[in-house]
Structure formats: structure tokens, C-alpha cells
Structure 1
Amino acid sequence: MLGALINRMSFRRSVLRDGDSLLLTKTEFNREVTRERIRASRRSIPFCIVTIKVAGGRKLASRRGDLIRILHRNIRLTDQKADLGNNRFGVLLVDTPEMGGRAVLDRLSGLCETRNINATLSLRVHDPEGFDPDQDRDLPTGADKRRRDDKSESTWLRVDHGANESTALAVQSPSPAVRSQAIKSGSGGAMMQTVAADALVTHDDPLPNRSLERRFIKRAIDIVGASVGLVLVSPLLVVAAMAVKLTSPGPAFFKQTREGMHGKPFTIYKMRTMVLDAESRQSALREKSHRDGPAFKIKHDPRVTPIGHFLRRTCIDELPQFINVLRGDMSLVGPRPLPWHESRACNHWQRRRLDVPPGMTCYWQVNKSAAETFDDWMRMDLQYVDRNDLWRDLHLIARTALVPLTGRGGE
């Protein structure tokens, strides 16, 4: 009993001596990353995140202590260091471009190798200027097409919109045989291997994310709400489809590519409220748009059919999006998805709205008059991104249900 107590006290002294108490917690680290992401997007300044996973074993406590000392002695005071749990550590390198992140990664990898710390290191780059919105002028018609600079053969990367997935690296301390080969080849003794981008995205990713429990509850509400809603409005959709077909040539439903969460394109479904050649006529009407910014909004749009005006005022044209919610493309509540080219033309700070799933309704949807400019609209979306919770979602759903009754659905 006495021996166990002495060992426990020795371990606590060791932890304090190693500086473990100076490390941020995972929650604190997430808060700092969130703050840096907003700052980086506003000022177009890149930053990097290095994550270090220490292998388990009998000397785990000693290796942890050595690694913590390495971090305190070699990382700038302006950077943030954190214990993310499960023997995983994070380093936030503020105002640091990719090459700076690689340099830090090389140095930490070499120090871990020198001190025989068996650890896996990975680098993640957030560069607001790392993606050119003009490079996707010609989007393939298929909604499942990837953007052209996506080099990963894996699924879509679930990270914040500014992350540079093509430069995501996994770095490990190599085996002695590989290490000698790397030194001979002049790579500096550290093996760098480019991996599938989403291989770095795990359930305990240090970047800010909503809790799994909240995401599960939100998705459950989406499925139940969309299922019930689709059953209730099915007769109405049938009548509306017949009305569209009888009053205007062409299909009853309209499909368009929109940009969804993390930049993933998807096909949105709506009741058709315009003439068939509406999209081809948009460029000629561009100068009449009463919205600044990339979004195209025009009062008294001549392309809208007579039945289309009614469908828009009553929001009936939006009801097929229950299908998008069931498919997981959208949520009941979230920023409204913009057409692909309009979304790609948004400023970098505005694209943070893609951090959450797009929705059928949002702050802007129920209070459009409050957004006098496109920037106001985007700030309303970011307000939801930063402060969303289930009660706000339910409140917005209730407010949205009143919009058709007032005839304020169409803008």
C-alpha cells in the first residue's frame, strides 16, 4: 500500500516536472483552432496543425515526458500545445505556411527519432488561399463529380473548407532499415509519405467538430422530420406536379447542382417554378439582380411561371428537399445551399458556412429583410455555424412553418 502511494506521488511529480500541466486540454485546443481559423480566413493567413500519436508500451510515461519536454523547448511561445487524450498531442502553428509546417514536422520527427520515441506524426495545412475558386468554371454535370484538384482516391475529405487536402502528410519514425535508406537518398532521415487525405480524419480529430451525440440527435431529427414531412406533403406534391405540367411545358421537378458540406457537390430537388431555358437566360438578366455579391436574386423575375409565383410564395417548391434531407445531402436546418458557381465565387471567410450541412431553412430564410447585403446574409449563416444547437433548430423549424401562411416564401 505504502509503495503504491509513493509510486503515485512520484508519477505526479514527474508529470508536473515534464510540463504536462502547461498543455491545453482538447476543448481548449479546439477553441484556439476555431479562433485561428476565423482569423486566418479574415486575413488570408495560413496555419498548420501537427498531431503526434505516441505508441503505447511499458515506457509510455517516460516517452510522454520526453515528448512534452521536446514540445516546450522547440515550439514557439506564440504557438499552442495540447494533450488531446489517448496519448495524442497537438501543436497549433499560427501564421505558418505549409513549408514552415513541414520544417517543424521534420524537426520534431528527428528529435523523436533521436530520443527513441516511437510516435506517428501528421501535418495538416489550413491555407485560405490554397484553392482557386476560378478553376471550377466548368463543373461536370454529375453531382458526384469531384473538384478538379482533389487528388485523393478516397471519399470526400470531411475537414474545414480551407484545408489543403492535397498536402496532407503522415510522417512516422521509420524502421532502422528504411531510415538508413532514407539517409542515403538525402531525405534527411525522415520518411514522408502522402496518404489518402481522409485517412487523417478520425473521430478524435483536433479540429473543431460538433459532439458525436449532438450530431447523432440532429441526424435522427432530420430523418424523422423529413420522413413525416414527406408523407404529409406527398398529396400536395402530386397536385403541384400536375399543376406545373398542365401550365408549362417540361418536367414538374427541377434539379440543380449545389455546393454542400465541405465543398461536396450534390443535386438539389425543387418543384420547377421557371421556364425551361431559365438558366441560359440568367446571364442576360445579371445586371438586374438586386443582390450584391455572387448570389443572383431578381425581383419580378420574368422567367417565373404563373403557377411558379404561387409555389414560391407558399414554399411548396422547396418541399421536395425532404428527399435531400433523407439522403444526407442536407439537414432540416442549416445555411441555404447556393448554386455551385455562386458558392465557388464566395470570399474565403464566407465559405466557413460549409462547415455544417446545408439546410432547408436558416436564419436568413425566416428573416430575409434583415440581410440588406450579401455579406449580411453570410454573417447570419456564420452566426448559425458558431452558435447552432438543437433548441435553435427546433425554434427555426417552428418559425419556418409560419412563413407559407404569410406568403413571404418567395423573395
Structure 2
Amino acid sequence: MQTHLAPEFKDSREGRAAEAILRKCVHCGFCTATCPTYQLLGDELDGPRGRIYLIKQMLEGAEVTRSTQQHLDRCLTCRNCESTCPSGVDYGQLVEIGRQLVDERVKRPVAEQAQRWLLKEGLTSPLFGPAVKAGQALRGLLPAALQNKLPVNGNPDSGAWPTRTHARKVLMLAGCVQPTLAPNINAATARVLDAAGIQVLLAPKAGCCGAVRSHLGDPQGGLDDMRRNIDAWWPQVECGEVEAIVMNASACGLAVKEYGHALAHDPAYAERAQRISALARDLSELLPDLVAALQSQLAGAKLPRVAFHPPCTLQHGQKLRGGIESQLRTLGFEVEIAGEESHLCCGSAGTYSVLQPELAYPLRDRKLGHLGKLDAEVIASANMGCIQHLQSGTETPVRHWVELLDAALQTRGR
């Protein structure tokens, strides 16, 4: 795609980065066929190609309007279009640049500003836990989109954290909201890795991966979160104590794997960010080691029938496809994946389901319709946002796959 940047963008870092991405696009439209919002709305401007045109026009000096902002807001950033694109367009990076530049030029309504501020500050705050308890007490007064994010039966139990030490050690990012809303995911991860001879370490000063602020119009705040995490992890990384930094939320894993790109312009952090990204692993990438270590421990265990939902951040962002399903089958689980539209987003997309419920819930119901055909005892996924969003629309239990593995190990009396 040929571009002619306006003077204000020609020499900017964002302008140069966007131009390089735009030049890869060949207008083919393959991306449109796999875009969830285009499938729902049927509007070219609510598909990747249309949004690319809007960003291109802005960079070439065209007027930016509230309509432009809304079309970019409706993008789930699921990156399905990247998996489809034959030209390798880095759409995820481009839409983030576009959103940042549009937000600098178009003022949002006051109520919208307040909602986005509360999300980015509230979800990443140490006060998030107490706020959740207050929200549970006042549940009936909250909007449905927020009610669906709160645990129904008080605070879920996480069980015991392992105390053994092992020669093999990994750092794990606990996350910002997961320790409050779904603490068993982290504890289950630690127990499963412990059973395989791997010790989980936590850096107390590490927090949000940076995605929340970055996706809510605060790119500098997102970069600060990334820098804080790098500082928190660096002592154990520098001395070689850990072999990897593990994320059990695929959205966080994608974010940390992109620290090197996000901080490439920062001379104080660029080199360390690259090192951190090189060490970042989605928990599923450890599964081959876990299978070898745990197979005998699971022999004879009664395992549930599982319908697996692969998060977009796993299959399209990290490009990790099929590994969880195949390794769980090796361990004895009966795992199926919906044959129809397994590539499409469930509508969670971080804070998207709060900000765009009129699109998020039809996508959820569409996904659950396909998963329901598998007649499974449990739905499994690899990202807390997807798990919560799907659970709000079904009576079938929705769990992280590592919780299923942990439960099976505990059943065997480990």
C-alpha cells in the first residue's frame, strides 16, 4: 500500500512504524473474512482492511473524527487477521498506533473517559481486592457487564501453595486481577510444576503486564508497568537463577513476549527487555516436560471430557496452536475443539467485554453454541479473561487447563 505521510507524522517514530506496516498491505481482503466484528456488523470500516484505510487517511492528513475513534475501538485486537494475512501485516501494532494517535486528536465523552480511567487504574491497583469484595456486596446495583466479572460465591479458594525446593526454577507473573478473581489458577500452576520438579518463584514487586493501560489509551503507563516488571525480575534473571518467566494467562504471555519491541526505543531498558522477552514462556510451552514427568502420576485417574477454547492471544498472538490439546490427550484427557469457528474470538478481549458489551456478548454466545455441541463435562481455556467471559453464559464449568491437571493429580493422592 503506497502512503504519503503528512509532515506531522513523517519524522515521528509512530509515523515511520505505521508506514512500514502499511506498505505490506496489498488490499486483498482475506482479513475481512475472519474478522469477528465484520461478521457481526457487515461494515467494511469494522473490519481490518477498513480500519487500515482509516489509519492511513489519518497519517496522510485527513480529518480524524469521533466515528474514526469508534471504528478502532470496536476492534477486539484478536489478531485473527494476522493469521489470515498472506502479506504478514502487523495489524496489532498498527491498530495500537492508530488508537494512540486518534485519541490524541479526538476527545472522548466525559462518561467514557471516566469509565476507561476507572478500568485502567482500578484493575491495576492494590485496592482491587477490597473493591471486588465491595462489588460483591453491592452486586445487584452494578451493570450486568460488571456483575459478570465478579465471582458469584465469594472469593474462590486457591488451596495450598507447594513448599518444596527444586533445582529447576521459573519466575511466574501472578498478574493484576487473577490473584483476586481466580487465585486457584496460580496455585494450581505452582502445584503442577512442583509435581514435575520445577519450583515457581514470584517477584513481589511485579504487577500488571502493561496490557491494561496500553489498551486503554495510556501507552506511557503501559511502558512504565513493563519497566517495573523488568526491574522486579532482573536480579533473578541476571544471576541465572531461573530458566524462564512463565505466564499462565495467554494475554499476559503475549504482552511480555513483546516487551523487546515495546521498549526498543528506550536505551535504558531495550537490552533487558529483549532478554526478558526471550525468557518469556506461555505455561503451555512447558507441557512437553510436564507430560514426561506426570504421565505415571496420572495413570488410572478418572479424567473429564474437555471442550477446549484456544484464546486469540494464544493462537493468533503467540502463534501457539494445538499443543495444549495434544499434550492433554497424551496425559489421558479426552479433549475436543469446536470444529466451527475455533479461530474466532469469544468476545472477552480484556476490558472489551465491559466497554463493548453489545458486541462481546453475541460473540460469547456464538462461541458457547459451538462448544456446547461437544457435550463436554468442562470447558477449558488458557486465559482468565476468556474463562470468566464464557462462564457468564453457561452452566458448564469453565476452567484453566492447568486446574484440570492439578485436580487430576490431587485425585491421585499426590
TM-score by length of 2: 0.28
| Structure 1 or 2: more helix by fraction | 2
- The structure with the largest alpha-carbon Rg is 1
| Structure 1 or 2: more strand by fraction | 1
TM-score by length of 1: 0.28
